[in-house]
Amino acid sequence: MEYLSSRVKNMEESATIAMAQKARELKNAGKDIISLSLGEPDFKTPKNIQNAAKEAIDSENYFSYSPVPGYLDLREAIAEKLQTGNKIPCAPENIVVSTGAKHSIANVFLALLDAGDEVIVYTPFWVSYIEMVKMAGGVPKLLEGTIDQEFKATAQQLEEAITPKTKAIIFSSPCNPTGAVWSEEELRAISEVVLKHDNLFVIADEIYEYINFTGKHASIASLPEMFERTITVNGFSKGYAMTGWRLGYICAPLPVAKACSKIQGQFTSGSCSIAQRAGIEALKGDQAERLKMAEAYRNRRALVKELLDEIPGLKTPMPEGAFYFFPDVSAYFGKKFGNQVIGNAGDLAMYLLSEANVSTVSGAAFGAPKCIRLSYAASESELKEALKRIKESLAQLK
């Protein structure tokens, strides 16, 4: 395939999607696989949102191209949510709706980065950030938060990592993969560092906003002077169980919003019209189902923590948000099953797939090679069975 571009040849495949694909293939081949690899709600999209999409189709009013940054009434609903729920002083003009938050983030990197510009990526990071930065010509610079720091690098570490080439910093809170949540105080400390540097932007990925067990979500864009320095990313996939609808958005300073819209105007046009109509209902309609799903994640989190704590050798912090556990599994490195040696987290994830029939993702994909990621967006019975199998398989390693 030497004819393919070096751009794509230098790109890693998404590890979350690759592992999910592997699990799907094994399942299709008749194996009893429990998939804890893909971060995807196992709930159905709430009925009121489904109905809004059906009504949009039946009205026959939404079959044409939508405005590139999204329908005005959707952007108004998003701006209203961000003003009242997140205290972000925005207007509909600051909002650009895209085909999933993944697409939103890609737009932002394309809008901000010139060749060689650096992006500080809080590590552990969500897999796609690195490849997106590279694709846009930028250079990802990892800023590591250790397990003892609850995986959150300090503002002091950030200060030390900034160079004249730093254009942006990115993190997710609640964090995929660690479940860490940045408090308002921690965000304030970050903002103080950022405001010392001209033209330095924060990309705040808040896609797990509604799956937060601390009871308080803080948005850095709401802090003094930070609105003009922050691109807030959010979407519908996680909180409203709408992964397949492909609907995400940014709230950004006007020049960035306009730039993203310009990029989108050449690449994709406005996102799916029907999904956008459903998005309005998601934001403005009854929130009961969303709250119920968040409560289910809370219960599952307690269950999985209890079961993981029964497994010797794992170091398992309690996540404060999102729907992942990210245990340190390095105590098993160097152990063997027959001739099979577990050299690293990737080997362990493959071992669990073949021996326990449970799919997980190696922490290496997230910049944390001692850990593995387990999604607990699965039913309680699946989680119990998966954790039982993991425990038994790990006990076989000597």
Under the rule (CB under 6 A), what is the footprint of ligand GLU? 14, 16-17, 38-40, 102, 127-128, 176
DSSP state of 37: -
Is residue 176 part of the contact set for ligand PMP (CB under 6 A)?
A: yes
Closest CA to 275 of 102, 101, 57: 57
How far, in Å, CA of 15 to CA of 189, rounded?
32
Q: Which is nearer to ligand PMP, 172 or 393 (CB)?
A: 172
How far, in Å, CA of 255 to CA of 260, rounded?
9
Is residue 217 part of the contact set for ligand PMP (CB under 6 A)?
A: no
x/- contact string, 189-208, with ligand PMP (CB under 6 A)? ----------------x-x-
Rounded to a whole number of angstroms, the minimum distance from the CB of residue 105 to ligand PMP is: 6
SS3 state at 358: strand
Q: Residue 303 binds which one of ligand PMP, ligand GLU, none, with CB within 5 to 8 A depending on kind?
A: none
- Start-to-end C-alpha separation, the chain: 42
How far, in Å, CA of 324 to CA of 151, rounded?
13
Q: Which is nearer to ligand PMP, 62 or 126 (CB)?
A: 126
Instruction: Tell which one of 62, 109, 122, 126 touches ligand PMP (CB under 6 A).
Output: 126
**Residue closest to ligand GLU, measured at CB:** 39
Residue 249's beta-bridge partner residues? Answer: 97, 234
Q: Residue 174 binds which one of ligand PMP, ligand GLU, none, with CB within 5 to 8 A depending on kind?
A: none
Q: Which stretch binds ligand PMP (CB under 6 A): 235-243, 257-265, 333-341, 364-372?
A: 235-243
Is residue 237 part of the contact set for ligand PMP (CB under 6 A)?
A: yes
Is residue 279 part of the contact set for ligand PMP (CB under 6 A)?
A: no
Q: CA geometry: angle at 302 spanning 301 and 307, to 5°?
A: 95
How far, in Å, CA of 158 to CA of 190, rounded?
8
User: What ranges make up the beta strands (E) of the chain?
Assistant: 34-35, 95-98, 118-123, 139-144, 166-172, 201-205, 230-235, 248-251, 324-325, 336-337, 340-341, 358-359, 361-362, 372-375
Ranges within 85-104 binding ligand PMP (CB under 6 A) = 100-102
Instruction: Tell which one of 70, 239, 248, 317 touches ligand PMP (CB under 6 A).
Output: 248
Binding residues (CB under 6 A) for ligand PMP: these are: 39, 100-102, 126, 172, 176, 205, 207, 235, 237, 243, 248
